[in-house]
Structure formats: structure tokens, C-alpha cells
Amino acid sequence: MALSDILSNAETAQNAAIKTLNSDLRGIYDGRGGLHLLEGVKVEYYGTPTPVMQVASCSSASQELQIRSRDKSLEQPIATAIQRATGLQAHIGDSMIRVPMRPLTDSGRRAALQKVAAAAATAEESVRAARRAAVDQAGDLVKSGELSEDGLNSAVNQIEQLSTQHLAEVATARQTKEKQLNQV
């Protein structure tokens, strides 16, 4: 494996960690309604976990989410899945599932901040794991004689810069979400 492949793989893995973090943060309720809350919600449909947005039409009104199931038998499982994934109470009525968007309570805010911290910690671990793997692979190139010690030092510096950049992105995403959560 060439050094350029090692750097490319590390960058790809670290970008994936950032993408996953952003997706996880979008799914954390911050007191604002939006269809982004339903992105990670899945319901069992003919034995397969299926995104709610594929089995129902979803819309966002001023203070609530409205979900119309295409299959009436899925209304209760959808409501349960929404409550489990987001912590928001879903109400079934008039062949529609309504999810009211209530302001966060202090305990809800604390729980959401803990979820943000956990998601950021997971992303940081992924970035660091990709860095470790890349450094180890570069070290293997030195052992096999494909790379000199000076080349290894240069590669490690490049890997560190890449990791530092991605860790800064994790910190920025975490701070942004925490700021949204702390706004009253």
C-alpha cells in the first residue's frame, strides 16, 4: 500500500466520522421542530427495519410534526418508534400521527447535552482510531523498506494535521449544537 493510499484512507475514515456525527446531532431534539428528527427513525415493515419517511408522508407544521402512514397498521409502531428514537410523545388520531414540539425542560436539555457529548466522544474516538491505523500502516512501510525514516516523520506530520483538522470540526459541531440547546 502506498503512502498516498494510507493518507486517503485516513481522510475517508475521518470524514465518515464527521458525517456520522452531524447526522447524530441532527437527530437530537433541541426544542425546534423539523423533519430532520425523523431521519434516523426506523419501523419494522414486513420484517425489515424501514425509515419512517419511506412508509409515511411526513410534514412539519408550526408546532408539530404530522405523519400520515401509508399503511394503517403501522400507525402504532411508527408512534412507538418516534417516541423511542426522539423521546417525543406521538399522538395517534384522525388517521394521522402528531408529534407536538414542546420547549425543552431543564432535564430534557441536560439529557440532550449528554447525547451531544456522547456523539462527539464517539466521533473523536473514530478520528483517533483512523489516525492510529494510518500511523501504524506508515510504520509498516518503513519496516518493509518502502519508506524512509524521514518519510515516516513527514507522513506522521501529515496524518497529525489531518486529524487535528477533523478533531477541530468535531469540537465546532459539538459547540454549535450545545449553543442551540442552551438557547432559551
Instruction: Centre a 10 Å sphere on the Cβ of residue 21 and count the other Cβ atoms it contains.
Output: 25
* Whole-prediction pTM: 0.79
For residue 162, list its beta bridge partners.
none
Residues whose CB is less than 8 angstroms from the CB of residue 89 and which lie 6 or more positions away in sequence, other chains included = 83, 99, 100
Mean pLDDT for all residues in the chain: 90
Reported as a single tens digit per residue, the pLDDT across 157-183 is 999 999 999 999 999 999 999 998 888
Identify whether the C-beta of residue 162 lies closer than 8 Å to the C-beta of residue 154.
no
Sheet containing 56-60, strands listed edge to edge, beginning at the edge strand earlier in sequence: 56-60, 64-69, 96-100, 91-93
Alpha-carbon distances, residue 46 vs 43, 49, 69, 74 (angstroms): 10, 8, 14, 10
Q: Is the dihedral of CA 47, 51, 57, 58 positive or negative?
A: positive
Domain 3-26+105-182: CATH superfamily is: Ribosome-recycling factor (1.10.132.20)
Residue count of the chain, please give it.
184
- The domain spans of the chain are 3-26+105-182, 35-100
- In the block, which residue shows the cell 423539523? 34
pLDDT(129) > 60: yes
End-to-end CA separation in angstroms for the chain: 52
Query: Where is mean pLDDT largest: 3-7, 27-31, 89-93, 162-166?
Result: 162-166
* pLDDT score of 117: 96
Fold held by 35-100: Gyrase A; domain 2 (3.30.1360)
